[in-house]
Amino acid sequence: MSRTSIESVKRIVVKVGTSSLILPNGKINLRAIDQIAFTLTSLNNQGYEVILVSSGAIGAGLNLLGLNKRPSSIAKQQAAAAIGQSELIKIYNQRFQHYHQISAQVLLTRDVVDYPESRANVINTLYELVSMKVIPIVNENDSVAVDELDHLTKFGDNDQLSAIVASLSDADLLIMLSDIDGFFSDNPQTNPDAVLYNRITEINQSLENSADGAGSRFGTGGMSSKLKAAEHVFHRDSQMVLANGKNPSIIFDILEGKKIGTLFASDTHSSKED
């Protein structure tokens, strides 16, 4: 793909983590979903091509089931995901329709994108949807994906999925919204002296040592998984921004080239803020 600055990107993958979609009390964050729908619809109206990768299925399912933590058994997790995914997509569709935007659900497993024929079908579907100005809402098909089969069906987490979707769709930029302001030199929740990196141009051992593996009680991703996603991005000479998803409209500031969160981009990319 061509080397572009943030301000000139065309196709964007936005990944929203469970922590942005599920409140600390386990309820669905309706305000966040409404802001996501409004923001992505606005971008679509401006001519951007937008793909949403959304976590939250298990969290939404736990809320409906009245559970306050992820069950330990795979079958119960998959049942919660099946219940929650339908609830989540119902709310997304409702909010997107409020802004006169068509959305579409795309559920994936790792083996689907690993096999050439099904991979081509996924790519064709994504390209067709964005060409129709429809916003795909992508999630892992948690109700059937497991690690224990002879062939890998899980992506690992939705950080990895979002990087793969960005590759499949040849996106110019991956925006990863999480519950942290960006990538820090240490855990800012335990170390007040932790420093926020504004830009990272390569993944090295020092960064990997700084990464924490823990996610929220509803999600699975941590800083380590975000570094792995960034490695995918660097491999295809693309760009990724990790930012706080508390206010999804922050995406507008990111696309204006403002220094928001952490930009993962090689030195071949430039922006007005450099």
CB neighbours of residue 71 within 10 Å: 16
Helices (H) and strands (E) in the chain, counts: 10, 8
Nearest CA to 234 among 203, 193, 192, 196?
203
Rounded to whole angstroms, how far apart are CA atoms 13 and 241?
11
73 assigned ligand-binding residue:
no
Residues 6+ apart with CB under 8 A from 62: 26, 68, 69, 70, 80, 84, 218
**Is 133 assigned a ligand-binding role in the annotation?**
no
Residue 7 is classified by DSSP as G
Which residues neighbour 18 within 8 Å (Cβ) at sequence distance 6 or greater? 55, 56, 58, 59, 215, 216, 218, 219, 220
Strand, helix or coil at 186? coil
176 appears as a binding residue in the annotation = no
Distance CA 1, CA 82 (A): 36
CA distance linking residue 111 with residue 38, whole number of Å: 33
Question: Is 215 annotated in some ligand binding site?
Answer: no
Give the tokens for residue 261.
Answer: 């969160």
Residues 56 and 128: their CA atoms lie apart, in Å, by: 25
For residue 209, say whether it is annotated as part of any ligand binding site: no
**Is 55 marked as binding a ligand?**
yes
Confirm or deny that 267 is annotated as ligand binding: no
204 assigned to a ligand binding site? no
Q: How far is CA 228 from CA 117, 149, 180, 235, 241, in A?
A: 26, 23, 17, 11, 13
* Ligand-binding site membership of 26 (annotated): no
Residue 223 counted as an annotated binding residue: yes
169 is in an annotated binding site: no
Which residue ranges are tagged as binding site?
Answer: 15, 55, 142, 158, 178-179, 220-226
Q: Which residues are annotated as a binding site for ATP?
A: 15, 178-179, 220-226
Please report, in range form, the residues annotated as the binding site for substrate.
55, 142, 158
